[in-house]
């Protein structure tokens, strides 16, 4: 129901596009972010959800986003450009993970504010990828984030939940968590993803490619399936 009609039937194109990712800049505060006029895709999620690993796997670059065994480390917004032949046509934003217990409360609130502010005001924000460890499901902080972006989703902001580390689930568990999170996400797209098994990799890449390169409909045809 919610899957857009594939604008690009060849996943190799989307994977090749993801592979063009290059570090652009790091912004410790929101006002350090440069204004950018191409679509931006933000990766958000709890600390340890598998965000850095997901970005590295999608871009096929092992150290692009810093994957750490120490959660709560990344405190800045990191931007990466995407685009073939050196022509940037999108930007990935790696946002700080949230919900790590050992982070002092004041710092936690500061970051929640920065993140909410980013999600509400970043003008070129085209889509949000929420990474979620399916063994935890969507937590309270994830739900707060969904509430923050809801008004923009209603205005066309794209939104995808990736249930990471899906290699840790058996088929029954995977089906169950998919249906629960789909309900919680209010009809948004939810997909399984495993960096380890490379499950859902091409699908996720293609999904993001389609956000930035929307299908040009034939005359009289809708651009996306109903409800997309
Ligand atoms: N089994 C498994 N472990 C993963 C996967 N992705 C990430 N991890 C592990 O989860 C932990 C947190 O990953 P990381 O990418 O640093 O999470 P982040 O804090 O959200 O950036 C690390 O120990 C990763 O090795 C996956 O697909 N499968
Ligand atoms: Mg990380």
Any atom of ligand 1 within 6 Å of the Cβ of 51: yes
> Average model confidence (pLDDT) for the chain?
87
Report CA(70)–ligand 2 centroid distance (Å).
9
Threshold 0.95, pTM exceeds: no
CB of 56 sitting under 6 A from ligand 1: no
The verdict on residue 111 lying in a domain is yes
Testing ligand 1's pocket by substitution, the residue of 43, 45, 50, 193 carrying the most ligand atoms inside 8 A of its CB is 50
Measured CA to CA, the distance from residue 60 to residue 40 in angstroms comes to 19
135 falls within a domain: yes
Answer whether residue 133 is part of any domain.
yes
Burial classification of residue 42, based on how many CB atoms lie within 10 Å of its CB (0-12 exposed, 13-18 middle, 19 or more buried)? buried
| Residues whose beta carbons lie less than 5 angstroms from ion ligand 2 | 52, 74
Distance 223 CA to ligand 1 centre (A): 35
Closest residue by CA, ligand 1 atom 10: 50
- Average pLDDT on 89-102 reads 88
Measured in Å, residue 88 CA sits from the centre of ligand 1 at: 28
Q: Is residue 162 part of a domain?
A: yes
**Cα dihedral sign, 145-191-127-122:** positive
* Minimum mean pLDDT range among 17-21, 109-113, 188-192: 109-113
pLDDT on residue 220? 39
107 pLDDT above the threshold of 70: yes
Domain membership of residue 81 as a residue range: 11-212
Residue at 36 is within a domain: yes
Q: Who wins on pLDDT, 103 or 139?
A: 139
Q: Is 53 in the pocket of ligand 1 (CB under 6 A)?
A: yes
Q: Is the pLDDT of residue 139 over 60?
A: yes
Number of domain units in the chain: 1
In this prediction, residue 53 carries a pLDDT of: 94
Please report, rounded to a whole number, the percentage of residues in the chain having pLDDT higher than 70.
Answer: 87
Ligand 1 site, residue 165, Cβ cutoff 6 A: yes
Instruction: Say how many Å lie between the CA of residue 228 and the centre of ligand 2.
Output: 29
Residue 218: pLDDT above 90? Answer: no
Q: Give yes or no for residue 119 having a pLDDT over 60.
A: yes
Mean pLDDT confidence for 41-69: 90
Which is nearest to 61 in space by CA: 47, 81, 87? Answer: 81
Q: What is the pLDDT of residues 60-90, one digit of tens each?
A: 998 888 766 565 555 789 999 999 998 999 9
Give first-to-last CA distance, the chain, whole Å.
7
DSSP-derived letter for residue 189 is E
* pLDDT tens by residue, 156-210: 999 999 999 999 999 999 999 999 999 999 878 999 999 999 999 999 999 999 9
Q: Confirm if 212 and 41 have CB atoms less than 8 A apart.
A: yes
Q: Is the pLDDT of residue 103 over 90?
A: no
CATH number at residue 171: 3.40.50.300
**pLDDT band at residue 112 under the 50/70/90 scheme:** confident
Cβ contacts of 54 within 8 Å, gap of 6 or more? 43, 129, 131, 162, 164, 193, 195, 204
Residue 5 has pLDDT above 90, yes or no: no
Mutation test residue for ligand 1: of 44, 49, 53, the one with most atoms within 8 Å of CB? 53
Domain for residue 218, yes or no? no
pLDDT for residue 174: 97
134: CB partners within 8 A, 6+ apart: 163, 164, 165, 166, 168, 169, 173, 174, 177, 181, 192
């Amino acid at each position: 129901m919610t899957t857009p009609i594939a604008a690009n039937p060849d996943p190799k194109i989307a994977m090749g596009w993801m592979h063009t990712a290059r570090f652009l800049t790091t912004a410790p505060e929101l006002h350090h972010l440069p204004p950018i006029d191409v679509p931006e895709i933000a990766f958000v999620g709890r600390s340890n959800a598998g965000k850095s690993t997901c970005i590295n796997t999608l871009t096929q670059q092992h150290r692009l986003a810093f994957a750490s065994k120490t959660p709560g480390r990344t405190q800045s917004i990191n931007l990466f450009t995407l685009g073939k032949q050196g022509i940037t046509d999108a930007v990935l934003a790696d946002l700080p993970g949230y919900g790590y217990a050992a982070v002092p409360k004041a710092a936690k609130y500061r970051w929640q504010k920065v993140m909410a502010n980013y999600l509400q005001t970043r003008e070129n924000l085209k889509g949000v990828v929420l990474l979620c460890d399916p063994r935890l499901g969507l937590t309270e902080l994830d739900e707060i984030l969904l509430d923050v972006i809801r008004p923009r989703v209603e205005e066309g902001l794209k939104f995808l939940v990736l249930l990471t580390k899906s290699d840790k689930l058996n088929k029954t568990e995977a089906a169950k968590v998919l249906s629960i999170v789909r309900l919680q996400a209010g009809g948004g797209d939810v997909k399984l993803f495993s960096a380890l098994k490379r499950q859902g990799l091409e699908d996720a890449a293609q999904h993001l490619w389609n956000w930035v390169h929307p299908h040009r409909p034939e005359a009289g045809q809708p651009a996306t399936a109903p409800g997309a």
